[in-house]
Structures are given as structure tokens and as C-alpha cells.
Amino acid sequence: MTNKELANLIFPNIDKTLEDYKEMYPRREGDFAVTRFAPSPTGYVHIGGIYQAIIDFLIARNNNGVFFLRIEDTDQKRELKEAVDLIKEALYYYGLVPNEYQLDGKTVGNYGPYVQSERKEIYHAFIKHLIEIDRAYPCFCTHDTLEELRTMQEHKKQRTGYYGKYAKCRQLSIEEMAEKIKNGETYVIRFKSLGDFERKFKFNDLVKGELELSENDEDFVIMKSDNLLPTYHFAHIVDDFLMGTTHVVRGEEWLSSAPKHVELFNAFGFKVPNYVHTPLIIKKEGNSIRKISKRKDPEASMSYYTDLGYPAVAVIESLMTIINSNYEEWHRENPDKNFTDFTYNPTKMSSSGGLYDLEKLNNISKDFISKMKADELVEDSYNWACQYNESLKNLIDRDREYYRSILNIERDQEKPRKDIVNYSMIESLIWYMYDEDFNSREKEYEWKNITDINEIKNILNVYFDKYYDASDDKETWFNKVKELCDELGYASNIKEYKANPEAFKGNVSDVSTVIRVAITSKSNTPDLYHIINLLGKDRIMERISKL
């Protein structure tokens, strides 16, 4: 019996050959870089995935190339549609829109299907080819046999795995294999390695530079027995070849399997792509540094950022700072450009890990929101609220213009307010501007130096009876507050107050605080003049009457 006959016995219905597929997927012309984001649809989008997708996106964009999305669902156990929707939403939210993809039943691009579970036939043709050229074989070892092998290897302190003399089924004759198949025994297909673990080869990683790795010698599984789908190791080789990927960007946890992948590419005679193994995202915890963890860190999930309403740009910016060490400097020098104009350089990645820091994200986000125009902020926070926060949505719906005016306080100026870190906190910063909330909330009045309620009421009464005038401009308004101070025995001039504090009941800042706290309950708010004007005298008097 020949290998070809064995291959036919295993795949009787596969009649397309490698050559047929090469014709169906012609080499791409004119694309300088082809990258792919190839997530497994687990129902969870990890921050590391978006970090890699940004790099994929940039490499393609910098080189006038193609960035495509491939869904790697050969381990599919969950609801595929929902998991893919999550991936799609994340990519679109961050503006990392692929050039080729298969989403919602629609395929864009000539290299599909872009979903691995729909490519079974293709993989089978490639596996069939490997069997024909004697580089793959069926393995009938049971789970128990493999466990025994592992225990024995561990016991003898040997490298574990199915390799060399331990690759039992490799020693079967073709006839024996055929016999077992005909008898209905279950099997997987393994790659037949020709490598030698003691031999090293040079492996070039664009981030880590030239490395010396041990050759692969494992006869690893390329097709599983249960669903006849290929493993990741095998499927991505076939896909990256047919789809013309030039740069494989993936987490560094894959580096240890790179020798397997290189041997597979070589067995087919395919060119090995460029590799960008991205360093781990790490975080500080006390004095130590550890990998960001799905289990321990809510910020490892991309839903953390959308739930809290961080503007997409802020999240991207925070990731860009760990993608390339020169990014911040570049952005300072090019304030009008955005990350899509940046040229990604793999050698400017810290190979020891990207230190991610929420504090930094918060600063970037605060800064970004502070520079947004009021209209933009209204629009963006409203869109977010429609999906994630009904109560803010309702508040904006009540009076969009009023909401805009509140957000516009201290905005269009050289040093704008920087109190908004994300959209989910907006309500907690502006609730007191809404009577319903103001009346219904349990509030603690944050009085400072002046706490005597009679004195407080006296200040308020005199001020609103005698000095307040809705038509005053800001300067006139403040001068009147000073006049009020003079009348009531408070220092209108801080210098004078400091020189002789005993001569006064307090100073102008104490008086402003009384007005501020009385109408908002807070001692710290944006500009009081604007707050007073937005609330208007009637609503203010109503609030004061309840003190």
C-alpha cells in the first residue's frame, strides 16, 4: 500500500489538490503588507487582542496593505454568533476596521471563507497532501496511552511529548494503519517531524530580534478526532499561506510553538512570514509586576472600557504608549495627527512587557475629554449612554441644550476643566444641576469655614435680594460678591485678610463657598457664575428655601 492510497482511504471525498487551491487563492499583488487579526471567539475580548489588532492595523496601513479579520473557531464550543459580534463591536468601536472580513453573513475580500470552521475541506486537502508526501500519519493512541507516556516521561525527568521513539504510531506500517482505520478505530492525524531538538535554527522575530531556537521534533496533532477540524498549529499555516499573510502579529505565548510552525511551512515549501510576537501586557501590583490577568483584572477585558464609557481614542492612546516607546513624543510633536498616522516600529516595543496603567489611561482620557468641543462631547456621551447607561440617556433627552450648557462650563478656554474621566461619571458630576435629582437625593452639604445656618441664610438673602442680577457679566458679578463681603464684614481682598484676619468674619472665598454649597451642596464645582446663571434665580430660591 502507498501513502497516496492511505491518504485516499482517510479522505476519499477530497479531490482538490494543493495546486488547485494555489490557483483559487492567487498570490496578492501590490500589497506590501498583509496582516490579520485572528481571534478565537471565546465571548471575551482581551485587551491583548486589541493591542495586537492595533499593530496589525498599523502595519497594513503604513505599508499600503491589507488588514483582515479571521475567526479561529476550530475549538468552537460556545455560541459563535454572539462571540463574533463582540469581536466586531470592539474592532469597530476602536476604528480598527478590517479590509477583509466575514461578518453578519457578508463576506468582503477574495480570500475567504474567513471563518475557520467553514474551511474544513481546504484543511483536509492540505492534510491529505502531507500524508501523500509521508509527512503526516494517523495516530490511534488513546487518551490513557498518552497519559501513561507523559507520566513516564515526567518520572524519568524527560521532555514530555510525542516525539522520536515515543511516537508509537509513527512506527506502524501503512497496512497496519489502514487496517485500524477499516476497523473503525478512532484516530487523530499527526505531523511527521524530521526535526532534531538538539539542533538550533535562527528565528527572526521583528520585536525580539534574531533568536536561536531548538528545532521541533514533536509529531504534534494537526487534525482532531472529534470534529475532524485541524488544530491551531495547522489551520493558521494553511490560512496564512493562502490568504497571503506577510506579518503574523500574535502574543509571545506562541513563540514556544514557532518551531512547529516553521517546520510546517517548510514541509509545504511555503515562505515563512514575518513574526511580531507581542510582549505581555503587564501591570504593577504593589511593588511587584505581573501579567495582566483575565481572572484578576477587570481592565483586561475590553468591555471594562465600554461599560465605563472611555472614549475609544483615549483607550487607543493608552495602548499606543506601550506599543511604541516613541509614540508619546511623536504625538507631542504632531498634536493634530492621530494614531493612524503613526509609523509602527517593532524594535520600539519593550520586549520585557508593556506596562499598562489605568492611572495613565485616566489622565489621557481626562485630557482628551477636556479638549473636546461641547457638541462633540454631547454627541459621544449620548451615543454611549444609549447603549450603556439609560439614566444618563434620559437625562440628556430631557433637555439636550441644557446638558450641553452644563458640559460647556469652563470648556472653551486655554485651561479647560478636567474633571471628566469617562462618560459613566458624568452624572455624578452634574446631578445637582437637575432639580429632580437635587430634591430626591440624600445630600450632605459640604460647608467649609462658615457653618452657622443663620449666618449662611443671611449671606444668601442679602446676596440674592440686593446684589444678584442675571444680566451681569462675570466681572460685574464678582465685583458684586465683593461688595456683599464689604457690607457683611468679610474681606473682599485676600491680601488684606491675610494681613489682619481678626478684623474680618472671613473672606470672599468663604462667602463664595456658602453660595456654591447652598445651591449645589458641593464645595467643589466648576465655575460658580455659570452655575448660577444656568440654574436661574427661581430655582435657586427654591433650593435655598429648603435649607
Nearest alpha-carbon partner for 46 in 79, 92, 87: 87
Smallest gap from Cβ 247 to ligand GLU, in A, equals 11
The nearer residue to ligand GLU, 53 or 313, going by C-beta atoms, is: 53
Min CB(394)–ligand GLU separation in Å: 39
Residue with Cβ nearer ligand GLU (87 or 139): 87
Q: Which is nearer to ligand GLU, 245 or 381 (CB)?
A: 245
Least distance (Å) from ligand GLU to the CB of residue 231? 11
Between 75 and 121, name the residue whose CB sits nearer to ligand GLU: 75
C-beta closer to ligand GLU: residue 240 or 317:
240
Q: How many CA atoms lie within 13 A of 130 on its CB side?
A: 29
* 212 contacts 203 by C-beta, under 8 angstroms: yes
Q: Which residues contact 27 (CB under 8 A, 6 or more apart)?
A: 244
Q: CA-CA distances (angstroms) from residue 317 to 54, 296, 351?
A: 11, 23, 19
Which set of grid coordinates corresponds to residue 318? 493608552
What is the smallest separation between the CB atom of 22 and ligand GLU, expressed in angstroms?
A: 22
What is the rounded radius of gyration, in angstroms, for the C-alpha atoms of the chain? Answer: 33
Instruction: State phi, psi for 44 to the nearest 5 degrees.
Output: -150, 125
Q: Cell digits for 491?
A: 474681606
For ligand GLU, give the closer residue by CB, 21 or 232: 232
Cell numbers found for residue 66? 491589507
List CB contacts of 77: < 8 A, sequence separation 6 or more.
none
- 221-223: strand order across its sheet: 136-139, 188-191, 221-223
Q: Round to whole Å and give the CA distance between 490 and 505.
A: 5
Of residues 276 and 430, the one with the C-beta less far from ligand GLU = 276
SS3 call for 283: strand
Please state whether beta strands 200-205 and 209-214 pair in parallel, antiparallel, or not at all (unpaired). Answer: antiparallel
Rounded to a whole number of angstroms, the minimum distance from the CB of residue 254 to ligand GLU is 6
The residues that touch ligand GLU, with contacts defined as CB under 6 A, are 38-40, 72, 232, 236, 248, 250, 254
Query: Do residues 541 and 464 lie in contact, with contact meaning Cβ atoms separated by under 8 Å?
Result: yes
Cell of 61: 496601513
**CB-nearer residue toward ligand GLU: 232 or 464:** 232
* Residue 259 or 506 with smaller CB distance to ligand GLU: 259
Least distance from ligand GLU to the Cβ atom of residue 87, Å: 10
Helices (H), 341-493: 358-371, 374-388, 390-398, 400-408, 426-430, 435-440, 453-462, 474-488
**In angstroms, what is the minimal distance from the CB of 73 to ligand GLU?**
9
- Nearer CB in complex with ligand GLU: 346/506: 346
Nearer to ligand GLU, 40 or 365 (CB): 40
- Residue closest to 422 by CA, chosen among 466, 363, 344: 363
**C-alpha distances in Å from residue 370, one per residue of 340, 366, 534:** 22, 6, 20
CA angle 374, 378, 379 (to 5 degrees): 120
Q: Which CB sits closer to ligand GLU, 232 or 478? A: 232
Give min distance, CB of 1 to ligand GLU, in A.
36
Contact between residue 247 and residue 36 where contact means Cβ atoms under 8 Å apart:
no
Q: What is the smallest separation between the CB atom of 84 and ligand GLU, expressed in angstroms? A: 13
**Rounded CA gap, 283 and 354, in Å?**
8
Is-contact 236 254, C-beta < 8 A? Answer: no
Distance of alpha carbon 489 from alpha carbon 504, whole angstroms: 6
The residue type of 125 is: A
- Smallest separation (angstroms) from ligand GLU to the CB of 232: 6
Nearer to ligand GLU, 3 or 257 (CB): 257
What are the Cα distances from residue 102, in Å, to 87, 105, 374?
12, 7, 37
Count Cβ atoms within 10 A of the Cβ of residue 409 and give its class: 0-12 exposed, 13-18 middle, 19 or more buried: buried
Nearest distance from C-beta of residue 402 to ligand GLU, angstroms: 46
Dig out the grid coordinates for 415 from the structure: 485651561
- Minimum separation from the CB atom of position 148 to ligand GLU (A): 30
Cβ nearer to ligand GLU, comparing 237 with 385: 237
CB of 34 to ligand GLU, least distance (A): 13
In terms of DSSP H, where are the helices of 167-257? Answer: 174-182, 232-242
CA–CA gap between residue 9 and residue 4 (Å, rounded): 9
Query: Smallest distance from the beta carbon of 8 to ligand GLU, in angstroms?
Result: 31
